Structure 1
Amino acid sequence: MRRRWWALPCAALVLTGIAPGAAAEQAPVQVRDGRSQPVFTADPVRETVWVETGLDGDGDGVVDRVAADVVRPSGTDRPVPVIMDASPYYSCCGRGNESELKTYDEQGRPVGFPQFYDNYFVPRGYATVLVDLSGTNRSEGCVDVGGASDITSAKAVVDWLNGRAPGFDAPSGGGPVEAGWSTGDVGMIGKSYDGTIANGVAATGVEGLRTIVPIGAISSWYDYYRSDGVSFGFNPSGLARTVEEGGRPDCGPAKQELDAGSPANGDVTPMWTERDYVPNADRVTASVFAVHGLGDLNVKTLHLGQWWDALAERDVPRKLWLSQTGHVDPFDFRRAEWVETLHAWFDHWLLGVDNGITEEPAASVERAPDVWADEPTWSGELAKDTVLHPREDGLGTQPGSGTASFTDDPSLDEYDWAADPDQPSPARALFSTAPLTSDVRIAGTGSVTVTATPSTPTAHLSAMLVDYGPATTRDYLGRGEGIRTLQTESCWGENRPGDDACYFDTEATTTDVDFEIIARGWADLANHESLSEERPLEPGEPQTMTFRLATTDHVVPAGHRLALIIGGTDSAFIVAPRQPGEIGLDLSATSVTLPVVGELPALTAAGPDKPSVRPERVPARPDVQLNRDVLPGS
């Protein structure tokens, strides 16, 4: 166990009136107004340590080592905590809005550290450690997309920082290196794949991991590639080859295992189960500061919702930001507030500073572009499940009767279905309320139950919840997913040769819409009995299935209509079944369960006249290349 100097009373850390220089640098940290101060001004130590993982992923008979690039304060003999970002993207794709890569000098020593963490936090008494996941950049082994190799890559470095794993000064051979400069206290941070690794490492319960900050992160890899029995049309082996920069020749068996474990029919397999971190949330001892875009159609909000719910059951200390953006880092949609809040968060959990961050509002939700609402506890934890029923006359609180039907047309998608609610369509069934008499807030993860009768042996289903009415939102479906990069720059921390702290500023992009899809879900009716084994459907025989909608936090304003749309193949997301056909719905046995905050106003169905709201501008559809996670800037 590392010695933690911050166990002393916090008042002892407040060293005011110390001039910069050697005396200040010998102090563990200087705190003023609840924040650590940039007193470590000398050039930091930069080094690479290769840490043994205990695995031999590439099958060469030698234990794999992963490269951990370290930058830490110089001129102090006091141990420091660590901010760590473990990523597969440091050489293939880059990190942040400017797709920064790691750089090295002629001797191979690290120079350029992507993003602002080192520039800002090292002068304040932290080390920053950027880890190349196994099989990427300068690390040995093979990528396994969220499996044992990926997670062990990062966990091994946490163990090394705590004196439990061997480190060396070379990728093979070399001399041993210990992290005597480390307190052993680690905070993991990262967006997308990086934040996913933070989730996975936290789910191991590794000692020394004090906090994680997952941003737009995956909690179950099955739910990234599949949804309740249907496929999104891509497999993890493609991502592995990308981050390995084409695929390493000795990693073929690892790719074969990925392909074998991800069948196209969308069944849950042991490979997917291994990569689901939610069941192990009870092992998490780290605090969690989660950030997610409500418009994120890459790492969908279901990942945040199911992870958050599991952590809530464990009563893990946690904080949440929900933006209107897509797959965007908070540094690029709320920069100053993000740096300030992150600073206070790390100071508390890694330096032991009693700065009140845990007494501040636990949740912050963007209600309109750049308009944020804070609350002491995220209301998604307090919402009550409310069941609504599709009826022949619309959507209401009382069960319906009769039937509805649609024909699966794989050339259409959710925006085709939603665009003309006042017009009948053979490709979907639409059920709407009358205009709401008061606001309705839906916060959390809902579900849809259908009793469907297919006309063929295969049937895929899509469902969506739609807010019909005019609004101005962030343009999360646009090119920047809700932001625009400007030509001006702002600087966050110390500039160093080859590693500056300045980044292009951004601003919100907005769009006027007449409807917004606020939650989606997809399923294969053949998996109605089990997600592990699909069974051929008997044409003409009804089957009942419940499947999940994505997590949301959305206020449907008074005067707007709330609608449920059920269709077949949503071509923006899922692949079509082998034999698309007609699907009938038994309305008396079909419903949608929504997490409603507060009281639900009296709802009336739309009546015989369907909503007469036709969008003046249909939002741009998501990029057909939905696996944006492998692209630069992810």
Structure 2
Amino acid sequence: MEEKCYSKVPVFENGMAQPVFPFTDGKSGEKYDAKTSDTVRYCVYVESDYDMDGDGKRDLVKALIQVPRSAVEGNYKAPALFEARPYCAGVQEDGYQHMKDVAEKEYRKFDMEELNHKADPRVPTGSISAMELALKTDPSDWYYPDKGNNNSMVYENLENFNYYLVRGFAVIVSAGFGALGSDGFNFVGSDFERDAFKCVVEWLHGDRTAYADRTGTTETKADWCNGKVAMTGRSYAGTMPFAVATTGVEGLKTIVPVAGIADWYTQQNMQGAQRYWPKEMLNSFLAYYCSSRYNDETLSEKQLDDIAAFHHELSLQQLKCGFDYDPEFWGSGNYRLNADKIKCSALIVQGLNDENVSTKQFEMMYRSFKQAGQTVKTIVHQGPHITPTMPNKNYGILLNGQFYDDVVNKWISHYLFDVENDAEEMPEVLAQTNYDQKKWETEKSWLVSDSMKLNSAESGEAVIDTDWEKAGISAENFDDVMGITSTNMGKRYVTAPFEKAVTVQGTVCLKMRAALKDGDAECDFHPENRNDADTLTMKLGNSKISGKMDDVEVAVLLCDVCDEEFDSIQTVDPERNIVPVEVVKEGGIVNGGDLPAFDEAEFKTVHKKYRVITRAFADLCNPEAGYEPETAQNSIELKKGEYHDYNIYLNATRYTVQPGHSLAIVIATEDPVNCLIHKTYSVAIDNASVKAEVPVTKAAEDRTLTLK
């Protein structure tokens, strides 16, 4: 067997860190020996500025540290790759049932001001080195049963970043406030949540104190770190890098957010209407789901009750907003409002078929970095809510013939190790095409200057209603029906077939005039719970609680349609969350060093006469709502027959319409997949008013829409 050649310092070739460090698995349980492990592992407890639970002591944030042993031994200073992921210390998988259990439960009144307790910082009474702490630490501190998730072992993403460990980077993972091992409460989209992770960056940079355990007496420093940090991760873990970046924290040199959220309001809602999955519309659902601190056996009944009372109050605060934007509730999670504070670069990654975190989110991030004058690149692929390499599923897709982690490696080697490479010369947009997944195209900017106008040639009035049964639609077939034909629930406006290919890139804006045609507003349009949501969540659009008419929804789809079936990549499940993959090369994704390879995969295609390119939701009660989330504050009382003008912004996309294909705009009422409250109403549309502004990469002639 060939002997491995290891190094005590990082080695770079072709602008990338090479896999020259040995690796020891952190999951080896009793076999794990800190004395001989090539990867030093231990946990620290970073002191924050907050005392959310009012115990007179500043809240501590637990973080798992993984560092190549050579850096801890002092042979070089390792930069840090940090994933801030509230799920990683365990979850409460009974979220749906829990929301039903607590829907009618009474809690003590929780005043949100209680979160702002002040406490003096601790004064360390001693110190301990990283190696000394690692030698004292038991693997059960980072690898333990997750009682809330089928007893899986956490930190559940322990090995997601082994690729970087064998190349000389340190890897840090934290679940933040409200997680097992940390103090405080999980408060989705708040300054508290953001700052928990900011504190970890500050510790890595040398600006904050961390302790060896939860007693908070013995200090430990990240003296193996060069003070430079990159943040990355997907979904929630792709959101926190952007949140922390908007604080301007020192030491954060770059972020690589994957399918991250730029604004929590727009994640849950769009232009005054529900956007997300019905049973997860309350932020308190996610807060509970991530609160593994409930499983801390050292907590008293009062401490547990305080967490529960806080979560309930979080529900009540959101119910007052309805589906509209409220600056007090949503402002802290609208991170783009602090874009001017950004001081780092970004490589933003997004799947164009992601119906979990909407594509609008990555575009808002991109715009924020442009506003800040910072370097920003974006990679968009044809996948759903995934990272181009999925370690937990043992597969990855190639990015224009490159391994995803190699692309990230070059990027962070430049920013964290100061390697002179061509990372900043990457194209500003690298996009996988929808018509050939092996083909990738580049653009100088995501924001294009050309546009194509679609104008309706129809006159008169179109009426659509919410009768699912009459339309023959359900969550399983909504797209299939709407993509192919007009029904009582949706009207299609279709162009003539294109003679030349046209590439749409950016945000499509639909303009229309519409009015409430019919419906019993006095009875809230007779709400029905078609998706088995809990009664607390069902109060979200209740006019008696919010004091206003709410959620008279329209859904808008932009579709590629053709008389002949064609291959396309699209989601295949009712929740629109899965694009299947197939292995094309076993072991094709090489991780290097002592690490096993992953399989190279491609997306499976479907064969249909349509493909939904992008979609949007809007509330007719919010005619002022536009692209920016804060424009959805003002709602009106709809009156039957009274028309209003609407500008509806669809989720960002990049899509090439092939010759012989047409574009179809579909205006519908309710979408069963994203329907918390089924209501009975009808909407009148002024056909002649229907227009769309479509951003394109090259000038294209304007098109006429006809009603079909």
TM-score after normalising by structure 1: 0.82
Residue correspondence of structure 1 range 498-577 to structure 2 within 5 A:
503=598, 506-529=601-624, 531-576=632-677
Q: CA offset at residue 299 of structure 1?
A: 0.5
Contact 2:16 2:406 in 1 (8 A): no
**Structure 1 residues 503 and 422: CA distance shift in structure 2, 3 A:** closer
Q: Which residue of 1 aligns with 2:234?
A: 191
Q: Which residue of 2 aligns with 1:100?
A: none
Q: Which residue of 1 aligns with 2:491?
A: 429
* Paired positions, count: 563
Contact 2:482 2:666 in 1 (8 A): no
Counterparts of 2:137 and 2:605, CA distance in 1:
42
Q: CA offset at residue 423 of structure 1?
A: 4.9
Q: CA offset at residue 549 of structure 1?
A: 0.6
Counterparts of 2:481 and 2:242, CA distance in 1:
37
**Structure 1 residues 507 and 438: CA distance shift in structure 2, 3 A:** closer
The answer to which of 175-184 and 51-60 deviates more is 51-60
- Give 5+ residue unaligned stretches, structure 2: 23-36, 93-135, 144-153, 295-303, 391-395, 522-548, 626-631
Q: CA offset at residue 322 of structure 1?
A: 0.9
* Corresponding letter in the other structure for 1:139: S
Q: CA offset at residue 260 of structure 1?
A: 2.8
Q: Among 507, 517, 520, which residue is 1:445 paired with?
A: 507
Q: CA offset at residue 366 of structure 1?
A: 1.5
Q: CA offset at residue 268 of structure 1?
A: 0.9
Q: Which residue of 2 aligns with 1:312?
A: 370
Residue correspondence of structure 1 range 282-431 to structure 2 within 5 A:
282-332=340-390, 333-334=396-397, 337-367=403-433, 368=435, 370-378=437-445, 380-392=446-458, 401-410=459-468, 412=473, 415-416=477-478, 419=481, 423-431=485-493
Residue deviations 1:268-327 (CA, integer Å, cap 9, x gap): 122212101112222211111111111111101111122212322333212211111111
**Structure 1 residues 529 and 342: CA distance shift in structure 2, 3 A:** closer
Partner secondary structure for residue 220 of structure 2: coil
Q: Among 559, 563, 574, which residue is 1:466 paired with?
A: 559
Contact 1:278 1:310 in 2 (8 A): yes
Q: Which residue of 1 aligns with 2:130?
A: none
Counterparts of 1:510 and 1:216, CA distance in 2:
22
Counterparts of 2:18 and 2:501, CA distance in 1:
45
The answer to which of 406-415 and 42-51 deviates more is 406-415
Matched, 1:90 2:191: no
Counterparts of 2:665 and 2:161, CA distance in 1:
47
Q: CA offset at residue 587 of structure 1?
A: 2.9
Q: CA offset at residue 119 of structure 1?
A: 2.3
Residue identity (%): 25
Q: Among 317, 326, 336, which residue is 1:261 paired with?
A: 317
Partner secondary structure for residue 271 of structure 1: helix
Q: Among 579, 585, 588, which residue is 1:481 paired with?
A: 579
Q: CA offset at residue 417 of structure 1?
A: 6.5
Q: Which residue of 1 aligns with 2:203?
A: 160
Residue deviations 1:137-175 (CA, integer Å, cap 9, x gap): 322111111212221111000011112111000012330
Matched, 1:595 2:695: yes
* Corresponding letter in the other structure for 2:230: G
Counterparts of 1:372 and 1:364, CA distance in 2:
10
Residue deviations 1:513-565 (CA, integer Å, cap 9, x gap): 21011111111111224622423211121122222211000011111011111
Contact 1:261 1:272 in 2 (8 A): no
Contact 2:454 2:705 in 1 (8 A): no
Q: Which residue of 2 aligns with 1:46?
A: 41
Contact 1:184 1:208 in 2 (8 A): yes
TM-score after normalising by structure 2: 0.74
**Structure 1 residues 118 and 366: CA distance shift in structure 2, 3 A:** closer
The answer to which of 402-411 and 83-92 deviates more is 402-411
Q: Which residue of 1 aligns with 2:306?
A: 250
* Corresponding letter in the other structure for 1:283: K
- Give 5+ residue unaligned stretches, structure 1: 1-18, 95-103, 393-400, 611-634
**Structure 1 residues 421 and 238: CA distance shift in structure 2, 3 A:** closer
Partner secondary structure for residue 125 of structure 1: coil
Partner secondary structure for residue 124 of structure 1: coil
Contact 2:616 2:649 in 1 (8 A): yes
Counterparts of 1:417 and 1:44, CA distance in 2:
49
Counterparts of 1:282 and 1:363, CA distance in 2:
22
Residue deviations 1:386-409 (CA, integer Å, cap 9, x gap): 4322232xxxxxxxx432222233
Counterparts of 1:480 and 1:538, CA distance in 2:
40
Residue correspondence of structure 1 range 207-222 to structure 2 within 5 A:
207-222=250-265
Residue deviations 1:575-606 (CA, integer Å, cap 9, x gap): 3465x322111234332222122121353445
Counterparts of 1:106 and 1:602, CA distance in 2:
66
* Corresponding letter in the other structure for 1:52: E
Counterparts of 2:367 and 2:474, CA distance in 1:
30
Q: Which residue of 1 aligns with 2:54?
A: 59
> What is the RMSD of the two structures over their aligned residues, measured on CA atoms?
2.8
Q: Among 266, 269, 272, which residue is 1:226 paired with?
A: 269
Q: Which residue of 2 aligns with 1:173?
A: 216
